[in-house]
Amino acid sequence: MTCVGGWRARREEAGPFWFYRDGKLTPDSSPGSAGSHGRRTPFLVTVRDATHPIMRGLPPMWMHQGDELYARLRGPGKNMTVLATAFSDPANKGSGRDEPQLLALQYGKGRVFHTTMGHDIVALSSVDFVVTLQRGTEWAATGAVTQKVPASFPTAQTVSYRSDLAALDPDYPNGLDNLDLPVPQR
């Protein structure tokens, strides 16, 4: 139901790797293990289907704050729509490809929203994570999205987080203000 994934001995039998190249969803059936990520860092998210109800009204690109960018995901790729991708930077143990981060798919008569984001409280407190999870859940339940995009949604240059959620992490007692997370350039 997640369409693509990594880890747990997932190899070519599970389906090809999926990524974006030259603006198109591309399969790669080469052998090898699925699933990788570099260190947690902010990364730029690029919308691939602005017409989908989950993505309607979101900016074409935005920064997601410190999270693991999952790469080298494999799966059958049937009935899936890649909603957004992020570049997996080789300088951070990445694949060098634009990797799926937000997906929607049909599963029988049902709808599934799949996000690769949200590794920990820091990532969960990112406004874009909260908004896309809420909109994705509403779409999966109803087929429509009524939730508006908040003014605090991140831009292509800045991350945005909810301090009420970040404060739940005991490792970051001052919210995220004490983190020195670089904004990557591409």
Walk me through the domains of the chain, giving residue ranges and CATH numbers. Answer: 12-166 (3.40.50.880)
Q: What is the pLDDT of residue 183?
A: 47
In total, the chain counts a number of residues equal to 186
Please report the pLDDT score of residue 172 as a whole number. Answer: 61
Q: Mind listing the pLDDT tens digit for each residue in 24-82?
A: 999 999 999 999 999 999 999 999 999 999 999 999 999 999 999 999 999 999 899 99
Confidence of residue 166 (pLDDT cuts 50, 70, 90): confident
| pTM score | 0.90
Q: For position 178, what pLDDT does the model report?
A: 44
In this predicted model, what pLDDT tens digit does every residue of 4-35 receive, in sequence order? 999 888 999 999 999 999 999 999 999 999 99
pLDDT score, position 186: 46
Question: Which tokens sit at 170?
Answer: 């005991």
Query: Between the CA of residue 129 and those of 116, 170, 180, what are the distances in Å?
Result: 10, 20, 20
Q: Which amino acid is at 150?
A: P
* Span 88-128, pLDDT tens digits: 999 999 999 999 999 999 988 999 999 999 999 989 999 99
